[in-house]
Structure 1
Amino acid sequence: MFRPARASASQSDDADAGERFTRALVALTRTVWSPDCTFETAIAAICQTAASALQIERVSVWRYDAGERVLRCLHAYDAIAGQGIAPDALETLPLDEDDYIASFDDVRTLEVAVFERDAWMARSHLALRDYLQRHRIHGVLDAPAFVGGALQGMVCHESLAGARIWSRAETTFAASMGDYVAMAFEIARRRRAEAEVEHLRLHDVATGLPNRAYMIELIRQRFIDGPSRRHELLAVVHVQVDVSTGRGCSAGAPSADTVMGRIAQVLRPMMGVDTELARTGVDGFSFLVSTHASNRTVIRLAEAILGMLESMDWPHADLEPGASIGIAVAEQAGARNPLLLLQQGEEAAAQARAAGRFGHAVYDTEHHTALLEALRFERAMRDGFARGEFEVHYQPEYDTALGQWVAAEALLRWRVGGALRTAAEFIGVLEPSRLMPAVGRWVLRQACQDAAAWPARAGEGAPGVRVNVSARQFDETGLVEDVQASLDASGLDPARLTLELTETTLMRDIDHALEILRPLRALGVQVAIDDFGTGYASLVYLKRLPVDALKIDREFVQGMPDSAADLAIVRAVIGLAEAFAIEVIAEGVETPAQAEALNAAGVHRMQGWLYGKAMPNIELCRMLGVKLGPTDTSPD
């Protein structure tokens, strides 16, 4: 319990206090010098120890800022409450006089028994007097903390109980507290310096990224943790940068470090929870991928890196940077050598560089054929798109009540060596890749351009066109602008364009979906929910979404007319759509029996092999405007 000391002390009291002070200093030494003691912990311990040993109500530690000429309170301890002062209550005091600081040049402590009657305090020191008055402090015993001959701060022992005449033992102890504060300042400075040295040892100055030593230690740690992580993929993706200039170095050409710094800015956003990046060479970066995911994670990363570096803009005309990627995968069995894994990635990058700029290679292809083939497939897909191998085909949508085609869905195809690949064969690779937004924009422009030339039907307008929007397109900015640009370039009536989005895409974030759908509807285009019924429980949100059509997924159509459950689901969707005045379209209609059951249920718009498979635009144009019944078209 805190007990205030008497106003004065006898020699006997001094002797007792001396023993108390010695015990306090020994205990404080163990605390401050402990490796686990932080600066904040040390300062708090000093305040509490001083208050207990001096039997005083309040002790505070201040940092002196010589540049701004202010004192900033770092910690204050209230002995009566038995706790530190809340951080938001700590103060900053401007120094309106220089002699307070100057007084510490010649004394170990500054003592004031009763500040109200002290002539030195009465002359000025407005900020200090205001502080003492506000906290009802009568006597003070301040001790400076010098480090390397420079004043860093002070510890202030503050008496609230009344006048306090400080004994020699007390002033000696208070001076020691100033030394301990100085010690805490110096330990903190050294630890900061050591941390900076360690940071410099493990980081590259030019890019701010971790360096080769850091990456090797990180791989070593992953190997240590690895046995407990079964089926984990651990791979190095090394990016070898060619920083040579195209027509020789000219005045003003950026240095290699400048180029690497610019590339580091591009690569940084590719780091994630399972992916870390370091500069592992003068002209090289390395990613460490550690994940339970499949090889697809490594493939997407490599493809994204090449795409980003190929599309970089450089301010200097002579600069033509290139990059090659090498991939090395750590095996679960056998020796695990961090340096060897890193070198394997570098060797693979060198092999890729020999084959040309912006290439990639996998170390030990015999054991990683699947990964190599997947990389080749993504690269071939990117190259194929650049060469114009992608096509847009159209599957008609038939209205049984009108007996004619009313719309067509744009479907992506890839013609490789004369063979035509459907989207199902490559969409799983395309959608998560960075190529998807560019392909999506191209399909949108091409579909609007083709539809603008479709002939009008007798007594009716021209058919509409439906274009799928991927989740990646929907999440990225610019969709509304892309739609507007496609409509402007083609001259297509916005009312003839329908954007199809999956239920899953819309339901992930309703508020975000509304932010995109509202301006799209303002353009005059329509919106349809594709594959309705296979995603989230969306019925409660349907009334909030500005949609014009629901497309019943083929999964519910295939069981008709025999499946009572499928028929019930279809009827429920129809009732829901009617309540919100939404059109219903059935997908995957393949048999007359399915078409008859759908008609009986009230669905008249249908799409599927019964009415026509996907076809090039030229074939579709021959059919438009002609009233036709079901064809005998069967699946390939």
Structure 2
Amino acid sequence: MKAISSLKLLLLLPLTLILIVAVAVLYTSLSRLERQHDRADLEQHHDLGVIADAAEFSRRLGIIQKRMNVAMDGAISAELNELQLYRIHSTIVNELDSLSHVVKQLSTSELVLDANHGSAQGLQNAFAEYQRFVIMSTDVLAVDPQIANSFLQQAQRHYLDFSIFTSRIEFLLAERAQLRNKEQAETFSLLATRLFILSLGALLLLFGFTQYLSRRASRDLLDIAKGLTTLARSKESNIPLPRIEALQRTARGDIQQIAAKLLDFRHALERQHAAEEQAFQLAFYDPLTNLPNRRLLNERLQQALNSCKRYQQNAALLVLDIDDFKNINEIQGYDVGDQVLLTAGERLSELITDADTVARIGSNAFAILLPGISSNPDQAARKITLLYEIIKDNLAKLLLINEQVYFLTASVGVTFFDKSLQDLAAPLQEAEAAMYRAKASGRGQLRYYNAQVQAQQQERLQLETDLRQALANQQLQLYYQLQVDAQAQPVGVEALLRWHHPARGMVSPAEFIPLAEASDLILPIGQWVLETACHQLHSWEQNPARALLSVAVNVSAKQFRQTNFVEQVRRALTTTSANPKRLKLELTESMVLEDVESTILKMEDLRKLGIRFSIDDFGTGYSSLKYLKRLPLDQLKIEQSFARDITTDKNDAAIVQTIIAMGQALELEVIAEGVETQEQQEFLLKHGCYFYQGYLYSRPIPIDDLEALLG
């Protein structure tokens, strides 16, 4: 209680001092403001009295002016006789005499003196002159109105001076009122500033003093409060409380007892948190591999489904079963089996990202959840296939346990799901069903839950496998399609890749080219095409009739983006001794505009070798003329769908004409592919396209048939 009373006294002392200073400052400022207001009110009252006198003076002058005008009009028109004019004269003289006393009073006013530039005598003299001319005018009015009018004009000028004088008084009064208001506003502002500074200073002083007292008087209590907060918020099984431990050692009395109780409470909380963590671990994680179990996998499936709904994406679930694990357990023992499972779990965990989940869902079964997989079936299946190959390679790594070597394989089942999933248990059931089908097919197999998808992917995988062998087995072949000029004379050919499968027969380029593009197969295949075309060029150079023919070779984006592509082309030309001036590389619009600066540099390096360039399927992309004019091109190639309908579709005709005009503006050759009729050729020729390729001249044919066609 004594400590609290002392604390109150310490707090009251600065508060009392602050209050006394505040009252003194406020009283002084308000007294000053009151005096200033009284003085301003008195001055304002005096000024208003002067203004009233001046206004009365002006009013009476106006009456005199009016009477003079009446007398003047009556004298000129002879409506007033001499007696009437004399009476008016007498009245005006009396009024002017009375006003002369008013002028003397006004002249003594400070306001009037300021308005008349400090000269009271000048004002009186001006009025005297006005009075003299008015009396003279009314005095001779009955005798000679013309002279009276002249005097009246003189009086009017002095009357105007008095009007100006009145305006000066009003203006000066307004200035004085503004000055008084400004002074009062400044006084108010000063008072407000002082009060604000005083209040702010008081608050800062009080805050600082309070902080000092609180830190001095309750530092230990603050440490205890922080310790309580830490205990309340912490979920760990080991809660650090260094300050409380220090208090328990160094403090005395009640503080020491409170610290000891807090430490006891911490021990109880730590035991509770440890028990909760252990229960959570047992409930959601596999005790052997420490991977999520089936229960936690179900929760992750719900999260994946929510993501599918939120981000409009798909997810995939894989179930893996270690092959022949039962034999390992029965023959080598459960300890070895546990070591195999631990190793398998570790190797699988190394292959996934933080967003994915690897779980152990059975004795020798694992699951891999992949949220956010592509909704495109081909892309999704390719990712699964790639992951499966990596899993297979990692599991197949040598595993040495008790000097015994093991090579693991796994049967894998896959299913996909999206936001339309209704039964959360379905993906696991489907993936397990697919896994059992894979197990039934033999060791290390991959199966999809959807039989149709499985068949498609199996066919695709088989086709990719066959394509890998096609190059080595010489199943690939180049066909050539003739290119002619306006006189139908051959000027070159385009090399087109064909695949003669031993079982399927001719495989469509639309089927195997995208497959090669999606994998790295396009690189060796593209190099083979380039070298084969160069061989053909060199062969034709020995025949004068065909030495001027060029060969156009399509280059894929992946092939062109290789850092050593220029060197590959140079090596192909060197090894085949082909003339680079007869080699034409066909690039697509999207390829050259993907990285314009790098593309230009690479094209210029190839151009130095003598190679020519053509933009293939021009008109189907989104070319920028800003960059197109910078590219070292030789030819634009009109896409065949435009050329095919130029005689029947006005839109295609307009597009083709635009491309031809663009080529002419850029001084480039323009060649149209897909020319099938004479009418198409004539239309193209008419509008300035002089090179053609299409069925009208030749289909893509093997080299022997082309040689026979050329004669």
* TM-score, normalising length: structure 1: 0.58
SS at match of 2:540: coil
Partner in structure 2 of residue 439 of structure 1: 522
Instruction: Label 1:324 to 1:562 Cα distance change in 2 as closer, same or farther (>3 A).
Output: same
Structure 2 residue aligned with 1:235 = 316
Of 682, 685, 689, 1:603 maps to 689
1:375 deviation in Å?
0.5
2:666 paired with 1:585: no
Distance 2:592 2:685 in 1: 28
Q: Does 2:209 align with 1:5?
A: yes
Residue 505 of structure 1 is aligned with which of 583, 591, 603? 591
The Cα of 1:406 is off from its aligned counterpart by 0.8
Aligned counterpart in structure 1 of residue 476 of structure 2, from 370, 391, 399:
391
Q: Counterpart of 1:400?
A: 485
1:198 positional shift: 8.3
Q: How far apart in 1 are the matches of 2:524 and 2:438?
A: 31
Q: Whose relative contact order is higher, 1 or 2, with alpha carbons under 8 Å and at least 6 apart? A: 1
Amino acid at match of 2:317: V
Partner secondary structure for residue 208 of structure 2: coil
Match of 2:461 among 379, 399, 403: 379
Point out the structure with the larger strand share: 1
Contact 2:482 2:700 in 1 (8 A): no
Structure 1 position 293 matched with structure 2 position 375: yes
> How much is the aligned-residue C-alpha RMSD, in angstroms?
5.6
Paired residue secondary structure (1:437):
coil
1:538 alignment partner in structure 2: 624
Instruction: Name the CA distance, whole Å, in 1 between partners of 2:671 and 2:279.
Output: 67
1:370 has 2:574 as partner: no
Contact 1:411 1:614 in 2 (8 A): no
Q: TM-score, normalised by structure 2?
A: 0.53
Instruction: Tell me: CA distance 1:262–1:579, structure 2 relative to 1, closer, same or farther (3 Å).
Output: farther
* Equivalence for 1:95: none
1:326 — aligned with what? 413
Helix, strand or coil at the partner of 1:336: coil
Decide whether aligned partners of structure 1 residues 344 and 21 sit closer, same or farther in structure 2, where only a CA change above 3 A counts. same
Q: Tell me how far 1:380 sits from its aligned partner.
A: 2.2
- The alpha-carbon distance between structure 1 residues 576 and 5, as it changes in their structure 2 partners (threshold 3 A), is same
Q: How does 1:284-363 map onto structure 2 within 5 Å?
A: 286-291=368-373, 293-305=375-387, 324-330=411-417, 336-338=423-425, 341-342=427-428, 344-355=430-441, 359-363=445-449
Distance 1:276 1:263, change over 3 A: closer
Letter in 1 for 2:465: D
TM superposition shift of 1:224? 5.4
Name the CA shift for 1:196/1:556 in 2 (closer, same or farther; >3 Å). Answer: farther
Q: Of the candidates 458, 463, 478, which is equivalent to residue 549 of structure 2?
A: 463
Secondary structure of the 2:521 match is: helix
Supply the AA of the counterpart residue of 1:404. P
**Aligned match of 1:55:** none
Task: Give 1:566's aligned residue.
Answer: 652
| Partner in structure 2 of residue 424 of structure 1 | 510
Structure 2 distance, partners of 1:207, 1:620, is 66
SS, match of residue 560 in structure 1: coil
- Cα 1:357/1:204, change in 2 over 3 Å: same
Of 309-318 and 217-226, more deviation after overlay is shown by 309-318
AA aligned opposite 1:415 = H
Q: In 2, are the aligned partners of 1:550 and 1:585 still within 8 Å (CA)?
A: yes
Equivalent residue letter for 2:415: A
Q: 2:209 is aligned with what amino acid?
A: A
Which amino acid in 1 is paired with 2:208?
A: P
Q: 1:370 to 1:287 in 2, by over 3 A?
A: same
Q: 1:241 to 1:578 in 2, by over 3 A?
A: farther
Q: State how far apart, in whole Å, the 2-side matches of 1:334 and 1:485 are.
A: 55
Alpha-carbon spacing, 1:595–1:235, altered in 2? closer, same or farther (3 Å): same
CA distance in 2 between counterparts of 1:206 and 1:488 reads 62
> Kindly tell me: are residues 5 and 280 of structure 1, through their superposed partners in 2, closer, same or farther at Cα, counting changes over 3 Å?
same
SS at match of 1:4: helix
Are residues 1:553 and 2:639 paired?
yes
Aligned partner of residue 586 in structure 2, secondary structure: strand
Q: 2:301 aligns with which of 213, 219, 240?
A: 219
Listed one character per residue, the Cα deviations across residues 423-479 of structure 1 (whole Å, up to 9, x for unaligned) are 224545x1663xx32134214314422541342353552633333333444556664
Worse overlay, 491-500 or 599-608? 491-500
* Identity in percent: 25
The residue type paired with residue 652 of structure 2 is D
* Aligned-pair CA distance for 1:374: 1.8
Taking the aligned partners of 1:277 and 1:515, their CA distance within structure 2 comes to: 47
Distance 1:608 1:272 in 2: 54
Secondary structure of 1:546's counterpart equals coil
In the alignment, is the contact (CA less than 8 A) between 1:414 and 1:423 conserved in 2?
no
Q: Which is richer in helix?
A: 2
Letter in 2 for 1:455: W
Residues 1:418 and 1:602: Cα distance change in structure 2 (over 3 Å)? same
**Counterpart code for 2:629:** K
Separation in 1, partners of 2:275, 2:606:
56
Long gaps (5+) in structure 2: 1-202, 326-331, 333-338, 400-404
Quick one: which amino acid aligns to residue 459 of structure 2? F
1:605 aligned partner, one-letter code: F
Give 1:582 deviation, angstroms. Answer: 2.9
**Alpha-carbon separation, structure 2, partners of 1:485 and 1:285:** 49
1:524 CA displacement: 4.9
Query: Which residue in the other structure is 1:117 paired with?
Result: none
- 1:591–1:216 Cα change, 3 Å: same
**How far is the alpha carbon of 1:509 from its aligned partner?**
3.7
| 8 Å contact from structure 1 (residues 240, 346) kept in 2 | no
Residues 1:309 and 1:219: Cα distance change in structure 2 (over 3 Å): closer
Aligned mates of 1:520, 1:542 — CA distance in 2: 17
State the partner residue of 1:139.
Answer: none
Distance 1:37 1:256 in 2: 32
1:110-259 matched pairs, under 5 angstroms? 215-223=297-305, 228=309, 233-238=314-319
Partners of 1:540 and 1:229 in 2: CA distance: 40
Following the alignment from structure 1 to structure 2, what is the Cα–Cα distance between the partners of residues 302 and 291?
Answer: 9
- Assess, with a 3 A threshold, how the Cα gap between structure 1 residues 148 and 236 changes in structure 2: closer, same or farther: farther
Question: 2:689 & 2:649 partners in 1: Cα distance?
Answer: 17
Ranges in structure 1 where 5+ consecutive residues have no aligned partner? 44-62, 64-142, 152-167, 627-636
Map of 1:26-45 to 2, 5 A cutoff? 32=230, 35=233
Query: How many aligned positions are there?
Result: 481
Contact 1:392–1:443 (CA under 8 A) maintained in structure 2: no
Looking at structure 2, the residues matched to 551 and 538 of structure 1 have their Cα atoms a distance apart, in angstroms, of 16
CA distance in structure 2 between the aligned counterparts of 1:208 and 1:524, rounded to whole angstroms: 64
For residues 544 and 195 of structure 1, do their structure 2 counterparts lie closer, same or farther at Cα, with a shift above 3 Å needed? farther
